[in-house]
Amino acid sequence: MSKVKGIVAGILVTVAAYAAYKALPKKRQEELSEKAQQTGSLIRDKAYDVAYEAADIAADVTEKAKEKTAELKANSQEKYGEHIDIAAEKIKDFTDQATPYVDKAKGFVTPYIEKTQDAITDLRDKLVSEDIELTQDDVDLEDALADLADDENIKKNDTVSSSEKSNSDDVTKTKD
């Protein structure tokens, strides 16, 4: 309600000022109009001046900030550049040393991943083709893990027996 009262009061003051202006003689009206135009021009000119000064100040501050940033960057490069280079070199060396182990691990895990993917594909095919309802009793993780362990032990035994066979061949050759 107070906004409405403010708007009404503003309109009344404007109407009263306009009525007072029109009640003045023509010469006085022209003087007031000219004075209002001069004041408007002066205010506009000062606003432009303030805007240009603000832009100059902003440009100066930006330039000083850029200079300080460049100075700090140069100082930090001088102070810590060697440490950064050493750290980067150590990381590269570590990566180079770890690469064979990572590749070996990938080679070791790949067959298991393929078996798992095949098992998942088979299971999906069965689930799509048949209405199978699995219960906790149907899923025996211990047997599945034991099967995987048996597969690994068979591979190890094959590797050990082939190496033992080659060692025994070597011993036989040396006896001859």
Domain ranges within the chain, ordered by starting residue: 139-176
Confirm if 13 and 20 have CB atoms less than 8 A apart: no
Look-up: residue for tokens 């060697």? 82
Q: How confident is the model at residue 134 (pLDDT cuts 50, 70, 90)?
A: low
Burial profile 21-49: b = 16 or more Cβ within 10 angstroms, e = fewer = eeeeeeeeeeeeeeeeeeeeeeeeeeeee
> Which has more confidence, 21 or 144?
21
Looking at every residue in the chain, the average pLDDT score rounds to 78
pLDDT at position 171: 47
- Please give the single-letter amino acid code of residue 25: P
Cα–Cα distance measured from residue 141 to residue 151, given in angstroms and rounded to the nearest whole number? 15
